[in-house]
Amino acid sequence: MSEGEGKKKYYYRKKEKKASEVRKPSGGRILMMLDKLVEDSEFLYPFYRFQEEGYAVDVVAPKAKETYSGKHGVPFTSNLSPDRVKIDDYDGLIIPGGRAPDYMRTNKGLVEIVKEAFQKDKIVAAICHGPQMLIEADVLRGRKITCWKSVVTDVKNAGAVFIDEAAVVDGNMVTSRSPTDLPQFCKEIIKLLRYRVTARVDEN
């Protein structure tokens, strides 16, 4: 194998730009997944951070307009069911952790959303136990990933290369280990989103 062959590219490193040249999004959309016993902070932090960044955030769960309690009792409400999601409407998909992914992975509609997001090269980000959804969607073969320690063997068995870092970026995918990694997790997602926006504008 020649040098560099088989390595994934980091989209935001394709063309280095000054901070002033990197455009913020306008009118973009993010989709977040939800189910019962989600890790509260892993849902709340990205939910508000990406609105702050200028994105509209939709929440998909097994049922629309349903309230789901997080691990620590915080109530979260969905606005979409899987059958109402059009992945082309979104710039990225975020999968929080906690015990929720273990429930979400049994919902065929939610798993199909993950598969389609990868097929259409959307940015997909998963934290903590969130990579369980990536395992279920069978999208990890040969990819670099991080996750919560109890999921490490599972991602390896799914064909991924585990890296013990706060945030791992592999192509369109961002993964992190735990709530303490949330700042780096969101930072890396935002980098990908901004550089994609800038690349689209430059192409035009």
Whole-angstrom CA distances from 164 to 57, 122, 134 are 29, 24, 17
The structure tokens listed for 96 are: 């929080």
The structure tokens listed for 82 are: 């899987």
Catalytic positions are 129
Helices 182-203, 40-52: crossing angle, 10 deg rounding: 30
Closest CA to 128 of 197, 46, 191, 15: 46
Side-chain half-sphere exposure of 34, counting CA atoms within 13 A: 29
